[in-house]
Amino acid sequence: MDVHLVSTNPATGQRQSHHPQHTDAEVELILGRAHHSFRAWRKVSLRERANTVRKLATALRARANDLAHVAAVEMGKPITQGKAEVEKCALCCDQQADIAPALLADHPIPTEARRSFVAFEPLGVVLAIMPWNFPFWQVVRAAVPAILAGNAVVLKHASNVTRCALALEDVFLNAELPTGVFCVLRLDSSRIPTVITHPAVQAVTLTGSTPAGRDVAAIAGAALRKTVLELGGNDAYVVLGDADIPHAARICAQARLVNGGQSCIAAKRFIVVESVRNEFEELLLKEFAAVRLGDPLDPSTTLGPLARADLRTELHSQVTRAISAGASCLTGGRIPEGPGFFYPPTILTDVTPGMSVFEEETFGPVASVISATSENEAIDLANRSRFGLGAALFTSNSERGAEIAARRLEAGNCFVNSGVRSDPRLPFGGIRDSGWGRELGAFGLREFVNTKTVYVA
């Protein structure tokens, strides 16, 4: 086992920092402190918890520039996108703090009893296993609802964004959250099983790959730990013949390229009715051509590097395998020379089922265009996936679009004439190989609670 967690600047390929892993004894102390803090935190009133989370929102906004800089040099996020991510975290804190006191209060249910109600009680210590791609947002959206419900949260972040994890821990402490209610474990993935099964840990939330989700689900299931799993996606964006094509192309480009395409909820497969395919491809090419690939610390950069060298290697393999299988490359598709882990905006067309980019999750700036002869075929192709995180539909008939999104597209999040995204006000999660459980909104607030029936005769 490497005793250090290494951070590499993806724009240069240079190692920039390393952090010692916690020893087994330190892990025991941290989990013990988290459990002790939970016992006190659960007794704090809902309103006081909400006020503390509002202070967290203020602290996040005050540190936005610093946090965005750390994300830029540690995982390659363009600085402007990093600031937007921190602001989204602050908005989540404000919104969840606003709704928590009412949604977590005792809920009366009339029966023949003198009094009967449902109480929402915290579970204990929640282990949050989080990825590198949104190093602040993924953590906040998982941790804040759990903390508002009275739980403590222990973060095991991705090893390559340890500086982001420690910076976020500092923000939580500066927001006057009691010590131990939110804390960081510096561990590599091989040591996660012993934390999941630790007596202090009562639940696990994971955002990550489908294989990681299966591993965590197996360990947590054997230990009877509650889980929320937000896993991979291969989101389909369906463009019907009556769609506003310039609007669709603009939104599709944004949804594919945001965060360098490194998002489970990013657009990946563009399924276009044949009658509008040529127009869509021409406009998508223009949108991709306008992207500025470069230094993530430069405010004018809109597309930074991929986060790691191995991720670029895998993405390029998916592209080359698709081309070998018959796909055509309209732009990009070649690894640029020079330092860092950059990959150009790439559009593949003539993509069909069975190709790598149709079947697999592509984590990078690669768009796959699939032709459909009709609306029905387009929807069938969208649903032909083992994943089920997000889907979008473009049509001028918004009522029909809503009906298709609600009844025919198979995913946890279906958007009409808009890119799929997470929103603190709405539940977020997937089906099938994209996981289970929900984050955010009222449903996320009640994921890590004991929904307790109280009956007074």
CATH number of residue 363's parent domain: 3.40.309.10
Is 354 inside a domain boundary?
A: yes
The answer on pLDDT for 93 being more than 90 is yes
What whole-number percentage of the chain has pLDDT above 90?
98
Show the tokens assigned to 444.
Answer: 């996320």
User: At 335, phi and psi to the nearest 5?
Assistant: -75, 125
Residues 9 and 104 occupy one common structural domain? yes
Is 422 inside a domain boundary?
A: no
Residues 83 and 197 occupy one common structural domain? yes
Q: Residue 82, SS3?
A: helix
Residues 218 and 273 occupy one common structural domain? no
Is 402 inside a domain boundary?
A: yes
Residues 261 and 410 occupy one common structural domain? yes
Q: For residue 427, what pLDDT is reported?
A: 97
Residue with the two structure tokens 């099964």: 197
Q: For residue 16, what pLDDT is reported?
A: 86
Residues 271 and 162 occupy one common structural domain? no
The total of structural domains in the chain comes to 2
Q: For residue 348, what pLDDT is reported?
A: 98
- Average the pLDDT over 48-62 and give the result: 98
Range of the domain at 451: 4-231+432-456
Contacts of 76 (CB under 8 A, 6+ apart): 9, 10, 11, 260, 296, 304, 305, 306, 307, 341
Q: For residue 17, what pLDDT is reported?
A: 87
Q: Give catalytic residues, as residue numbers.
A: 230, 264
CATH code of the domain covering residue 18: 3.40.605.10
Strand order, beta sheet including 267-273: 328-331, 346-349, 366-372, 267-273, 235-239, 390-394, 413-416
- Average the pLDDT over 7-25 and give the result: 94
Is 421 inside a domain boundary?
A: no
| 2: confidence class by pLDDT, cuts 50, 70, 90 | low
Q: For residue 442, what pLDDT is reported?
A: 94
What whole-number percentage of the chain has pLDDT above 70?
100
Q: For residue 128, what pLDDT is reported?
A: 98
The answer on pLDDT for 289 being more than 60 is yes
Q: pLDDT tens digit string along 352-373?
A: 999 999 999 999 999 999 999 9
Q: How far is it, in rounded angstroms, from Cα 270 to Cα 130?
A: 28
Residues 43 and 71 occupy one common structural domain? yes
| 3: confidence class by pLDDT, cuts 50, 70, 90 | confident
Residues 441 and 335 occupy one common structural domain? no
Contacts of 315 (CB under 8 A, 6+ apart): 306, 343, 362, 363, 364, 366
Give the number of other Cβ atoms within 10 Å of residue 93's Cβ: 28
Residue 175: DSSP 8-state: T
Rounded mean pLDDT of the chain? 97
Is 424 inside a domain boundary?
A: no
Q: pLDDT tens digit string along 190-204?
A: 999 999 999 999 999
Q: What is the DSSP string of 387-399?
A: --SEEEEE-S-HH
- Average the pLDDT over 281-295 and give the result: 98
Is 227 inside a domain boundary?
A: yes
Residues 248 and 326 occupy one common structural domain? yes
Residues 221 and 280 occupy one common structural domain? no
Which is higher by pLDDT, 176 or 108? 108
The answer on pLDDT for 1 being more than 70 is no
Q: CA 343 → CA 7, 146, 264, 334, distances in Å?
A: 20, 37, 18, 7
Q: How far is it, in rounded angstroms, from Cα 177 to Cα 50?
A: 11
Is 96 inside a domain boundary?
A: yes
Residues 282 and 393 occupy one common structural domain? yes
Is 294 inside a domain boundary?
A: yes
- Average the pLDDT over 228-257 and give the result: 98
Residues 96 and 221 occupy one common structural domain? yes
Residues 19 and 126 occupy one common structural domain? yes
Q: Residue 59, SS3?
A: helix
pTM (two decimals): 0.97
Show the tokens assigned to 210.
Answer: 């489908």
Q: For residue 48, what pLDDT is reported?
A: 97
The answer on pLDDT for 415 being more than 80 is yes
